[in-house]
Amino acid sequence: MRPLGMRYWASMSVASVFGASLGDFISHNLHLGHWRGVPPLAVLLALTLLAAGRNRARFVAFYWVAVVIIRAAATNIGDLATHDLRLGDHALVAVLAILLLVSALVPAFVGRTVPDARISRSTEVPETSTSYWVTLFLAGTLGTVLGDDASDRYGLAAASLMLCVVLGTLLWLRQRTNATGNGSYWLTVLAARTAGTSVGDLLASRHGLGLGLPATTAGAGLLLVGSLLFRQRSVPAVQDQISA
C-alpha cells in the first residue's frame, strides 16, 4: 500500500499546533496548571473513543478529536515533567524515546498486524487500537520536550523553521520512497509533534508573534476543521500499514 496522503499529514501538523496550544490554554488561561487539566481530558478521551467505537460512520471525526485531546494532555504532561518536576531533559528524552520505540515497534515483532495494519473503514485514517493511542501520547510528550528544548536553545523562530524543515524533509522522503510501516509513520508523527510545539509557542508567545493563546488555539482549531472539511470533499487518501 502507498503511504498516507499529504492531506492527512497537513491535518496532523495542524492538530499538533492546535493540541499544544489547547494544552497551554488549559494550564495557563484556565489556571488549572500542568496536571489538574489532565483528568478531565482523560475522561473526555474515554468518552470520545467509546463514541467512536459505537458510531463507525463518524470515526474520522472522533479520530481527530482524540488526536487533539491526546496532544493537549501530552503537552501538559511534558511541561509537568520539565517545568514542575524539573526532570533533566537528557534523561527524560532518553526514557521517553525508549518507551516510544518499544510502543511503536514491539507490536510488529510479535505479529500484531491485524487489525492495526488494515485500512481503516473510513479509508481516511489509520486503523487504531489501544497501543496506537498510547504510542501517540508518548510521541506527543516527547515532541513537547524536544520542541521546548529546541526553542530554548535556538529561539522560537529559528527552532520553528528548523523543525518544520525536518518535518517537510521526512514527508518528502515518505512520498518519494513510497514508505509505509511503523518506523516511518511514528518518526513523522514525532516530527509533527515537535514542530507543533515550537510553532504554537511562536504564534502565541510575546517573544514570538504575540497572538496569545486564545487566538492561537481558536485559529488552529478552525484551520483543522477547515482542512478536514476539505478532505471530505476530496478523494480519500490511501492508508499506511500500521501495526502499533
pLDDT value at 35 more than 50: yes
In tens, the pLDDT along 48-61 reads 999 998 887 788 99
d(C-alpha 110, C-alpha 220), whole Å: 38
Greater model confidence, 212 or 7: 212
Q: What percent of the chain has pLDDT over 70?
A: 86
pLDDT, position 118: 42
Domains of the chain by residue range? 6-232
In tens, the pLDDT along 180-223 reads 778 889 999 999 999 999 999 999 999 999 999 999 999 999 99
pLDDT, position 233: 59
Q: Give the end-to-end CA distance of the chain in Å, rounded to a whole number.
A: 17
CA 242-113-131 angle, to 5 degrees, is: 60
Cβ pair 200, 20 in contact under 8 A? yes
d(C-alpha 68, C-alpha 19), whole Å: 5
Cβ pair 157, 165 in contact under 8 A? no
pLDDT, position 3: 59
d(C-alpha 79, C-alpha 197), whole Å: 11
Confidence of residue 231 (pLDDT cuts 50, 70, 90): low
Question: What are the grid coordinates assigned to 101, written together?
Answer: 520505540
- The distance of Cα 112 from the centroid of its chain, to the nearest Å, equals 23
Whole-number mean pLDDT of the chain? 88
- pTM over 0.75? The answer is yes
In tens, the pLDDT along 95-130 reads 999 999 999 887 666 545 433 334 455 457 888 889
Closest CA to 160 of 195, 204, 192: 195
Greater model confidence, 6 or 162: 162
pLDDT, position 89: 85
pLDDT, position 33: 95
